[in-house]
């Protein structure tokens, strides 16, 4: 064959043999600027294909048209690791018959590879590709950096279609996914909106409470015994998590600590840490901003890794297993240290594990930073509305009114208490919160299951039910 280029997306879909009831997959590296998922689903709808399962590593507000396809029967089932609030709301209100299957960023590739979630046609949005399908996210007007989450799809789907808006001559020199996995290549006008693509990062928080928690988080790390040469670290993209990274960087530079690697979810702040000499390398499964994309392009110490290598629990090992510290967020935490990142306190889906459970399971120290209450709702409850990450994997909870350490980690608790940090029992944190906010009534649990939360090991962690009408 001279090349795999196909003139139109429709033609590619026809050639792939996509039929009713099959599974299609997408990565989310174009984040909220993605056009591809909608493009493909619209075409499938126009072709009268119905009952599809959509396996998307994450779904954002830009993917709202998906709900229309659900209602019209084009989409029967959704498998994902994260779902933004706008889409989540529809799901919580019960728009789908079949419950959504939530996995994690490590559990997804694992399920694909083990054959639990087979993919018929994988659609790989690629900011740069040659006519044989060697492609990458590092170049092009829609550059998104790492294509980490696309690897398992490319390597395991029955048919693989690369969709690009930047066709380059063969052979693409700096490829991420090789042609050996690709069946068809389609060139389109635009695969996404650059403004929405690298919209992942917030800035370092300016909220004084966030800064105080971030400083305490850095102190916890400092006194954990893990902050020494060879240290490895991952942080979330939220404002307080980034601030914690900044404070940590200051400590590392001051004490001349040479870390081994930074992991993530890479932002410009992590790139700064790399360039400042805090780490030997960055292992990147996803770029959150243009600084990260640029660094991935130009710095050999900034390396792209696949989702499997990042966090798969069934791989012989994954990077999360070698991680020292991870900083995470939470919408709720219960007195057993179980964490909820799937729903808000009313039960509406507005998130998902992403890499939460994977990093929490792998890291030696998993830390949650969260304000003690958000708009009168205490963060700490008796039982989370949904278990996203089990308590056994969470070590520390940092709030502005105290730090709770998981009782199973007595040594850490003693260390931190010695260091003068405000260590408080988790039950006490709950009491402190409730003294301020009052005791909240538990909202009514709705009837129907609308989503399953599947843990890293493939077993069912929790079930999310529909939200009953609360009468606004």
Partner 1 sequence: MRRSLLFLPGNTPNIIINGDALGADAVILDLEDAVPPSEKDAARILVRNAISLMKFENCEVIVRINSLDTDYWKSDLDEIVPLKPDLIMPPKISCADDVSIIDSYIAELEKEFGIESNTVKLVPLIETAMGVENSFQIATASKRVSALFLGGEDLTADLRCKRTKEGNEIDYARKRMVSAARAAGVDAYDTPFTDVNDDEGIFADAEYAKSLGFTGKSSISPRHVAAINEVFSPSQKDIDHAYEVMEAIRIAKEQGRGAIALHGKMIDAPIVARAQQTIAMAEELLLMRGGRNE
Partner 2 sequence: MTDIVKKAYAGTIESSDVYVELEPNEAGLDIRLESVVLSQFGDAIREAAIEVLEQFGVRNAKVKIVDRGALDCVIRARVEAAIKRGRGE
* List of residues contacting partner 2 (CB under 8 A): 345-346, 374-377, 436-438, 440-444, 470-472
Provide, rounded to whole angstroms, the least separation between the CB of residue 203 and partner 1. Answer: 14
**Looking at beta carbons only, is 230 or 438 nearer to partner 1?**
438
Distance, in Å, from the CA atom of 210 to the CA atom of 395, rounded to the nearest integer, reads 20
Among partner 2, partner 1, none, residue 209 binds (CB under 5-8 Å by kind): partner 1
**Looking at beta carbons only, is 169 or 208 nearer to partner 1?**
208
Provide, rounded to whole angstroms, the least separation between the CB of residue 242 and partner 1. Answer: 16
Provide, rounded to whole angstroms, the least separation between the CB of residue 351 and partner 2. Answer: 18
List, in sequence order, every residue forming a beta bridge with 52; answer none if it has no partner: 75
Structure tokens that stand for 133 in this block: 């399908």
Distance, in Å, from the CA atom of 210 to the CA atom of 370, rounded to the nearest integer, reads 8
Among 436, 445, 448, 460, binds partner 1 (CB under 8 A): 436
Report which DSSP code applies to 342.
S
Among 419, 438, 457, 460, binds partner 1 (CB under 8 A): 419
**Looking at beta carbons only, is 163 or 433 nearer to partner 2?**
433
Distance, in Å, from the CA atom of 227 to the CA atom of 246, rounded to the nearest integer, reads 15
**Looking at beta carbons only, is 246 or 302 nearer to partner 1?**
246
Of 51-59, 63-71, 326-334, 420-428, which segment contacts partner 1 by CB under 8 A? 420-428
Provide, rounded to whole angstroms, the least separation between the CB of residue 428 and partner 1. Answer: 13
Among partner 2, partner 1, none, residue 317 binds (CB under 5-8 Å by kind): none
Provide, rounded to whole angstroms, the least separation between the CB of residue 279 and partner 1. Answer: 23
The answer to whether 400 contacts partner 1 (rule: CB under 8 A) is yes
What is the per-residue binding string for partner 1 in 182-221, x denoting contact by CB under 8 A?
Answer: --------------------------xx-xx--x---x--
Provide, rounded to whole angstroms, the least separation between the CB of residue 270 and partner 1. Answer: 22
Peptide bond preceding 171 in cis form (omega within 30 of 0): yes
Of 151-159, 270-278, 361-369, 418-426, which segment contacts partner 1 by CB under 8 A? 418-426
Distance, in Å, from the CA atom of 397 to the CA atom of 367, rounded to the nearest integer, reads 6
Per-position b or e across 356-390, b if 16+ CB within 10 A of its CB: bbbbbbbbbbbbbbbbbbeeeebbbbeebbbbbbb
Provide, rounded to whole angstroms, the least separation between the CB of residue 406 and partner 1. Answer: 20
Q: Provide the 10 A C-beta neighbour count for residue 38.
A: 17
**Looking at beta carbons only, is 222 or 430 nearer to partner 1?**
222
Q: Provide the 10 A C-beta neighbour count for residue 129.
A: 32
Distance, in Å, from the CA atom of 37 to the CA atom of 60, rounded to the nearest integer, reads 11
The answer to whether 116 contacts partner 1 (rule: CB under 8 A) is no
Among partner 1, partner 2, none, residue 422 binds (CB under 5-8 Å by kind): partner 1
Q: Provide the 10 A C-beta neighbour count for residue 166.
A: 18
Distance, in Å, from the CA atom of 309 to the CA atom of 288, rounded to the nearest integer, reads 19
Is 29 in contact with 56 (CB distance < 8 Å)? no
Among partner 1, partner 2, none, residue 208 binds (CB under 5-8 Å by kind): partner 1
Report which DSSP code applies to 31.
G
Structure tokens that stand for 50 in this block: 């119905």
**Looking at beta carbons only, is 1 or 375 nearer to partner 2?**
375
List, in sequence order, every residue forming a beta bridge with 454; answer none if it has no partner: 460
Is 52 in contact with 79 (CB distance < 8 Å)? no
Q: What share of the chain is helix, strand, coil (3-state, %, to 5)?
A: 30, 25, 45
Provide, rounded to whole angstroms, the least separation between the CB of residue 113 and partner 2. Answer: 42
- Interacting residues with partner 1 (CB under 8 A): 208-209, 211-212, 215, 219, 222, 400-401, 419-422, 435-436
């Amino acid at each position: 064959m001279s090349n795999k280029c196909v003139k139109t997306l429709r033609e590619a879909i026809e050639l792939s043999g996509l039929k009713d009831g099959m599974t299609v997959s997408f990565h989310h590296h174009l984040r909220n600027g993605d056009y591809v998922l909608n493009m493909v689903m619209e075409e499938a709808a126009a072709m009268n294909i119905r009952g599809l399962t959509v396996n998307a590593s994450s779904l954002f507000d830009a993917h709202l048209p998906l709900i229309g396809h659900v209602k019209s029967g084009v989409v029967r089932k959704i498998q994902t690791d994260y779902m933004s609030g706008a889409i989540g709301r529809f799901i919580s209100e019960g728009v789908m018959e079949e419950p959504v299957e939530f996995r994690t960023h490590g559990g997804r590739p694992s399920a694909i590879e083990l054959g639990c979630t087979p993919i018929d046609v994988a659609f790989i949005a690629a900011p740069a590709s040659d006519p044989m399908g060697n492609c990458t996210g590092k170049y092009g007007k829609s550059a998104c950096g790492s294509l980490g989450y696309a690897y398992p799809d490319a390597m395991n789907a029955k048919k693989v279609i690369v969709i690009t808006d930047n066709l380059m001559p063969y052979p693409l020199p700096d490829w991420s996914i090789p042609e050996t996995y690709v069946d068809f290549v389609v060139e389109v006008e635009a695969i996404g909106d650059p403004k929405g693509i690298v919209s992942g990062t917030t800035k370092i928080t300016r909220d004084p409470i966030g800064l105080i928690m971030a400083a305490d988080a850095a102190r916890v790390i400092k006194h954990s015994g893990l902050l020494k040469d060879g240290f490895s670290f991952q942080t979330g993209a939220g404002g307080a998590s980034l601030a914690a990274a900044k404070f940590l960087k200051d400590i590392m530079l001051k004490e001349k600590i040479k870390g081994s690697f930074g992991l993530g979810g890479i932002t410009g702040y992590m790139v700064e840490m790399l360039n400042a000499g805090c780490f030997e390398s960055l292992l990147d499964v996803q770029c959150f901003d243009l600084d990260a994309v640029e660094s991935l392009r130009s710095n050999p110490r900034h390396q792209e890794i696949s989702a499997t290598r990042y966090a798969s629990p069934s791989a012989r090992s994954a990077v999360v297993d070698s991680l020292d510290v991870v900083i995470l967020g939470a919408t709720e935490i219960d007195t057993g240290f179980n964490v909820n990142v799937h729903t808000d306190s009313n039960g509406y889906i507005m998130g998902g594990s992403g890499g939460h459970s994977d990093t929490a399971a792998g890291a030696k120290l998993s830390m949650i930073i969260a304000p003690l209450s958000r708009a009168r709702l205490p963060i700490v409850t008796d039982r989370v509305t949904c278990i996203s990450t089990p308590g056994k994997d969470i070590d520390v909870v940092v709030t502005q009114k105290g730090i709770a350490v998981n009782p199973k980690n007595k040594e850490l608790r003693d260390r931190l208490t010695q260091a003068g940090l405000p260590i408080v029992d988790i039950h006490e944190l709950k009491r402190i919160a409730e003294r301020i906010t009052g005791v909240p009534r538990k909202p009514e649990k709705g009837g129907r299951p609308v989503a399953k939360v599947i843990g890293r090991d493939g077993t069912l962690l929790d079930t999310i039910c529909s939200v009953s009408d609360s009468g606004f």
